[in-house]
Amino acid sequence: MNENEENKKVVLIVDDEQTIVDMLRYNLEKEGYKTLEANDGEKAVEIALNQKPNLVLLDIMLPKMDGLAVCKRIRQTLNIPILMISAKDEEIDKILGLELGADDYITKPFSVRELIARVKANLRKAEITAKAEKDQKEEGKQEGTKANTIVVGDLSLDLNRFEVKVRGEIIDLTLREFEVLKYLANQPGQVVTREVLLEKVWGYEYYGDIRTVDVTVRRIREKIEKDTSNPKILITKRGVGYYIASK
């Protein structure tokens, strides 16, 4: 295997419709990716845990084990981008659910161009995040226990540990939820649009589906707010976007 082959990113395609798998494989390989494929949930988990791909394209409706269960199982072991493919718009709530930690979703029917753009964005974001984690660990070693935190009111983010505390209590967030909070907390009181959050946190260079942002914000609120109907930390500016209360 030559060096170019070794450096290619690997995408695991999981769908029980072979025509879709073939179409995705053709287009991903044309873009320079290597592909793996599975037609049922159990095989998907087996391949993911053994082969450790760089990204998973995962259909929800699968035989033997559905996509949501597959996502949860992979996420327990691997920290890789998982892009869920759904036939229903209303599945978004489950896909981006607390217990699953999927990074993104796209609904059928989708354009190949959009799907490839999402794959590229998620892989690019994963690379940037991994590099940032490595750099922060190196800084931590060099600087001993020097704190690298953002504190805004009741909210505290430890950037070295990727840890969030609200009123001193550690809150369990997915990496994407952490990054949303981090981006907003770096500029407290400043309203950030959904489109900017999609670009900066999800890495999209085009306007994706802003509901992804809304659902993620709602999930964060369920974890950090005492009363989600009257949030005090992560605030909505109606018709514009979101901001972290500066006090």
The per-residue pLDDT for range 169-190, each reduced to its tens digit, is 988 887 788 889 999 999 999 9
DSSP string, 199-215: IIII--SS---THHHHH
How far from each other are the two terminal CA atoms of the chain, in whole angstroms? Answer: 56
Domains and CATH numbers, the chain: 3-126 (3.40.50.2300), 147-244 (1.10.10.10)
Whole-model pTM over 0.75: no
Does residue 32 have a pLDDT over 60?
A: yes
pLDDT in tens, 91-125: 666 666 545 667 788 888 888 888 998 898 888 88
Higher pLDDT, 149 or 210: 149
- Span of 133-142, 188-197, 201-210 with lowest mean pLDDT: 133-142
Q: CA-CA distances (angstroms) from residue 166 to 85, 157, 180, 187, 221?
A: 33, 9, 15, 18, 11
Q: Which residues contact 174 (CB under 8 A, 6 or more apart)?
A: 98, 101
